[in-house]
Amino acid sequence: MSTIVALSTPPGRGGIGIVRLSGPGSLEIAGTLLNDSAFVPQPNHTTLKAIIDPADGSVIDTGLVTYFRAPRSFTGEDVVEFSCHGSPVVLRHLVTAVLALDARLAGPGEFTLRALAHGRLNLSQAEAIRDLIDAQTEAGARQAARQMRGELSAYLQPFKEPTVAAVWSATG
């Protein structure tokens, strides 16, 4: 499976922008960008680091780097997040540098799809993420948050096994 990268914050200017990597090459790519080939950070901790463009050695930005080790990450894979200043120029430079290190641009929803594929979410929870992002009201956001925590799945679980068993016996 390839390593993917994407801007995780909305495009435009802001105080902060987050670039996320997920996949088998995430830690190695981070080490290259930090000019530290032995980079093995403590999982779930954030460190302040200079982020270097390996193409010319220039400093892209100084930002926070957080490593989430598989399988205890959102996607179930190694994940590295760079929290940088939210300049579109800085963020584009960082994504371009990551792409040059053999990652590819993530498709829409691909981080969530990987989480689903690795059993970190079920389909109802994956749909809830979309609903939470698209929520237009507080009530909609609250409902999506409950669904994301698995309320709907837990409610339906007692009905799932007998239904699946009945379908299998009827077709088998």
- Which domains does the chain carry? 4-117 (3.30.1360.120), 123-171 (no CATH)
pLDDT at 76: 97
Q: How confident is the model at residue 157 (pLDDT cuts 50, 70, 90)?
A: low
Give dist(CA 114, CA 172) in Å, integer. Answer: 31
The pTM score is 0.84
pLDDT over 90 percentage in the chain: 71
Q: Helix 151-171 to helix 138-148 angle, to the nearest 10 degrees?
A: 50
Sign of torsion over alpha carbons 132, 137, 140, 145: positive
